[in-house]
């Protein structure tokens, strides 16, 4: 991520972003499941009835509507464009039981790490969140660098060591695994691991394929603290899972520049979980817009029903309803929701003579039938506007991290597109090295 060309300073850019986010915060500061509950779609001030939003070639930016013209005019100033990713066939050279997406990620991150280590004379790679060790073994086999894999999950740690003994016995002296939960102050522990596992260590590179939540910031802070850490190549994700206390995130904003701008800001911008969830959302979705609208509004109807009856909705599994096979049939959606998807729980304890809450199917069907065609169109526009907003929000989050690096003396830093976003939407790597 970088400073858009229309801005001369980080302060100016951050301030302009906050203005934009405040103007359109209804597009992100409410959970998507509550958009009907809080009448969010009413705030999209355009005549949706005249827009053929479900046309496969729809381009909102080309529509002559005052609301859309104003939105895209402001958005354009904040946009950032990355150099195109150059793909070759390296991902098919790895013989492991992984999806094409995972192979693609591992091969191209390994390729990037090899280049960075070569440019910075690193002889060891430290992998944060090493999982089952696929990246580590590939790095050793293709580069001959020593690798320290650090993993907090016991099963993954044990699994990586088993795989190594079974398939990669030749790496036992050069690829080492340790079980440790990485935190911002883990530098002393990591130094101990490196000293214990490898002799004559000179310089090393920090990496991580999925640096979820606060792990990227922890990695940056460790990078600052460890003199022999000369480079970092790490892929951040899941910003919305960062540690939050009383509405404030521990590591966002992280730069003094954005902290100061935000503290002086007199407007009302909520940099909350929905904000970061949209920033972390894949920038492009291959599903049909009609399907996305159905999923959005179906779930929103359940939320309205639960709120109306003073209930809470509890998911019974990670994906409560599998919508791909139901052809946007709301009756089937309700049936699946009732049978296994959701459980209604009362907001206050029930008395002994009260029955556990249950769904009224006819009420739900009636609520669905009363949704207007304009609401369906506005829901589609809401989704499309979020898609346009996402990369701007992600740049805001990630540029904050670049500024933090520069504030701490690391000027050689950038976000680089190292993956094909059609294969792996989380395609950006933070690349930095010390002078």
**Which tens digits make up the pLDDT trace of 292-335?**
999 999 999 999 999 999 999 999 988 899 888 888 999 999 99
Provide the pLDDT confidence category of residue 90 given band limits of 50, 70 and 90.
Answer: low
416 pLDDT above the threshold of 70: yes
The CB-side HSE value for 98 (13 A sphere, CA atoms) comes to 18
Provide the pLDDT confidence category of residue 284 given band limits of 50, 70 and 90.
Answer: low
Provide the pLDDT confidence category of residue 1 given band limits of 50, 70 and 90.
Answer: low
- pLDDT at 86 (0 to 100): 78
- pLDDT at 136 (0 to 100): 96
Work out the average pLDDT over 250-260.
97
Q: 412, 408, 402, 409: which is closest to 433 by C-alpha?
A: 412
**Which tens digits make up the pLDDT trace of 161-187?**
999 999 999 999 999 999 999 998 999
Q: What single string gives the DSSP state of each residue in 30-51?
A: S-GGGTTTTTGGGGS-S-GGG-
- pLDDT at 67 (0 to 100): 96
- Cα–Cα distance for residue pair 73/24, rounded to 1 Å: 13
- pLDDT at 161 (0 to 100): 97
- pLDDT at 2 (0 to 100): 78
Provide the pLDDT confidence category of residue 20 given band limits of 50, 70 and 90.
Answer: very high
Residue 150 β-bridge partners: 128, 178
**Which tens digits make up the pLDDT trace of 189-239?**
999 999 999 988 899 999 999 999 999 999 999 999 999 999 999 999 999
Provide the pLDDT confidence category of residue 283 given band limits of 50, 70 and 90.
Answer: low
Q: 315, 301, 304: which is closest to 345 by C-alpha?
A: 315
126 pLDDT above the threshold of 70: yes
**Which tens digits make up the pLDDT trace of 127-166?**
999 999 999 999 999 898 999 999 999 999 999 999 999 9
Q: 129, 154, 148: which is closest to 214 by C-alpha?
A: 129
- pLDDT at 81 (0 to 100): 83
Q: How do the domains of the chain map onto residue ranges?
A: 21-52+286-388, 90-257+391-433
Q: For the sheet with 204-212, list strands across it.
A: 175-179, 146-151, 124-128, 204-212, 229-237, 428-433, 412-417
- pLDDT at 435 (0 to 100): 85
**Which tens digits make up the pLDDT trace of 343-362?**
998 887 767 667 778 899 99
Mean pLDDT of the chain: 92
- Higher-pLDDT residue of 88 and 103 is 103
Q: What single string gives the DSSP state of each residue in 229-284?
A: EEEEEEEEE-GGGS-EETTEETTBS-SHHHHHHHHH--S-----HHHHHHHHS-S-
- pLDDT at 93 (0 to 100): 65
Query: Which residues does 425 contact at the CB level (< 8 Å), separation at least 6?
Result: 282, 283, 284
- pLDDT at 240 (0 to 100): 95
- pLDDT at 217 (0 to 100): 98
- pLDDT at 89 (0 to 100): 65
Query: Which residues does 131 contact at the CB level (< 8 Å), separation at least 6?
Result: 151, 153, 156, 160, 209
Query: What is 90-257+391-433's CATH number, 3.20.20.70, 3.30.465.10, 1.10.1450.10, 3.40.50.150?
Result: 3.40.50.150
**Which tens digits make up the pLDDT trace of 36-81?**
999 999 999 998 888 999 998 999 999 999 999 999 999 999 998 8
Alpha helices in 100-227 (DSSP H): 100-120, 134-143, 154-167, 187-197, 215-225
């Amino acid at each position: 991520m970088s400073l858009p060309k229309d801005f001369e300073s980080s302060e100016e850019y951050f301030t302009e972003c906050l203005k934009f986010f405040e103007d359109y915060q209804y597009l992100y500061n409410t959970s998507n499941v509550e958009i009907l509950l809080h009448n969010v779609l009413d705030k999209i001030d355009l005549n949706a009835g005249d827009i053929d939003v479900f046309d496969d070639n729809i381009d909102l930016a080309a529509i002559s509507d005052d609301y859309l013209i104003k939105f895209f005019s402001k958005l354009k100033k904040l946009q950032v464009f990355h150099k195109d990713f150059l793909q070759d066939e390296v991902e098919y050279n790895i013989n492991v039981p992984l999806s094409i997406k995972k192979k693609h990620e591992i091969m191209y991150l390994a390729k990037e790490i090899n280049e960075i280590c070569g440019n910075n004379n690193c002889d060891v790679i430290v992998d944060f969140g090493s999982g089952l060790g696929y990246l580590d073994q590939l790095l050793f086999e293709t580069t001959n660098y020593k690798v320290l894999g650090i993993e907090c999950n016991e099963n993954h740690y044990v699994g990586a060591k088993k795989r190594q003994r079974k398939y990669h016995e030749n790496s036992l002296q050069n690829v080492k695994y340790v079980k440790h939960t990485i935190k911002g102050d883990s530098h002393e522990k990591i130094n101990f691991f490196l000293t214990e596992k490898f002799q004559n260590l000179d310089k090393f590179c920090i990496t991580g394929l999925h640096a979820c939540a606060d792990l990227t910031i922890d990695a940056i802070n460790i990078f600052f603290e460890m003199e022999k850490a000369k480079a970092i190549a790490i892929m951040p994700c899941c910003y919305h899972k960062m540690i939050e206390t009383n509405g404030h995130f521990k590591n966002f904003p992280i730069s003094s520049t954005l902290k100061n701008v935000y503290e002086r800001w007199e407007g009302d911008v909520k940099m909350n979980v929905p904000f970061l969830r949209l920033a972390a959302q894949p920038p492009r979705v291959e599903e049909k817009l009609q399907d996305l609208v159905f999923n959005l509004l179906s779930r929103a109807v359940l939320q309205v029903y639960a709120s109306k009856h003073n209930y809470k909705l509890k998911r019974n599994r990670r994906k409560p309803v599998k919508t791909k096979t139901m052809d946007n049939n709301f009756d089937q959606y309700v049936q699946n929701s009732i049978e296994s998807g959701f459980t209604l729980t009362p907001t206050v304890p029930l008395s002994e003579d009260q029955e556990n809450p249950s769904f009224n199917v006819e009420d739900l069907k009636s609520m669905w039938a009363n949704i207007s065609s304009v609401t369906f169109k506005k829901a589609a526009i809401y989704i499309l506007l979020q898609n346009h907003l996402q990369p701007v929000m992600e740049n805001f989050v990630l540029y904050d991290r670049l500024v933090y690096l520069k504030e701490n003396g690391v000027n050689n830093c950038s976000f680089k597109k190292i993956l094909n976003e059609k294969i792996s939407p989380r395609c950006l790597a933070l690349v930095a090295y010390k002078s």
